[in-house]
Structure 1
Amino acid sequence: MRWLALILAATLSWSVWALDLQQAKQQGLIGERQNGLVGAVQSTPQVNAIVNDINRKRLENYQDIARRTGTSLTVVQSRAGQLNIERTPSGQYVQLADGSWLRK
């Protein structure tokens, strides 16, 4: 459970670039994936740049959490994905297990 607190702290500490992410999510351009990463709902060079930047930072955080807690990266990503999807507001996109996007 300690790693759960670390995941929450890590996801809340991304405020430096959260505005770009939040704007893109509100516009339906980016959605949350089950693996704790984000994906492009509508792919453009700008959207892909945001997705790549966010995912690089998230993976660094997830790897750090996995190392510190002795948990596998897959487990950390899966739990983060669940939390991020649960916290996604109505009207924003989440990716289903089959890869399709659903507006929550």
Structure 2
Amino acid sequence: MKKIFVAIILSFFLSSAAWAISLPDAKAQKLVGETPSGYLEAVSGSPSADVKALVDDINSKRRDEYKKIADKNKTKIAAVEALAGSKAIEKTPAGQYVKKGGNWVVK
């Protein structure tokens, strides 16, 4: 079980150096936030191409990791996503966006 949590936490920090903005920078600039679904979303309805590419890349890597965890533990991916989302929101530092009740709030 501890390995599952470690894998989930590590997946939050996966980012690609190919994008012009890093995940920590995008979060600090309030461009993206964590959601209860376990995935990132752009806070703005019309993100820049760099932010959209970053979110798509991170979410793709997270989805792959969640699937591996779900398969290994013989559970549904939705359960892994929900747990990951809860943990991500819990670990989000003050001053960054999280989605609660369908709305963006600054933690």
| Percent identity of paired positions between Structure 1 and Structure 2 | 39
Kept in 2, the 8 Å contact 1:93–1:103? The answer is yes
- Give the Cα–Cα distance (whole angstroms) in 2 for the partners of residues 7 and 75 of structure 1: 13
- In the TM superposition, structure 1's runs of 4+ consecutive aligned residues that sit over 6 Å from their partners are none
- Cα deviation for residue 23 of structure 1 reads 0.7
- Cα deviation for residue 70 of structure 1 reads 0.6
Query: Which one of 31, 38, 43 corresponds to residue 40 of structure 2?
Result: 38
1:60 paired with 2:86, answer no
- Give the Cα–Cα distance (whole angstroms) in 2 for the partners of residues 38 and 87 of structure 1: 14
Query: Which one of 85, 97, 105 corresponds to residue 102 of structure 1?
Result: 105
- Give the Cα–Cα distance (whole angstroms) in 1 for the partners of residues 11 and 35 of structure 2: 19
Taking only aligned residues, the RMSD between alpha carbons, in angstroms, comes to 1.9
SS where residue 25 of structure 1 aligns? helix
SS where residue 17 of structure 1 aligns? coil
Kept in 2, the 8 Å contact 1:7–1:62? The answer is no
- Give the Cα–Cα distance (whole angstroms) in 1 for the partners of residues 14 and 52 of structure 2: 18
Alignment of 1:6-85 (within 5 A): 6-12=4-10, 15=13, 17=15, 20-42=22-44, 43-85=47-89
Kept in 1, the 8 Å contact 2:11–2:65? The answer is no
SS where residue 98 of structure 2 aligns? strand
TM-superposition CA deviations, 1:16-69 (whole Å, max 9, x none): 527811110000000000010000012221111100000000000000000000
AA aligned opposite 1:88 = T
Count of aligned pairs: 101
AA aligned opposite 1:64 = K
- TM-score normalized by the length of structure 1: 0.87
Higher helix share: 1
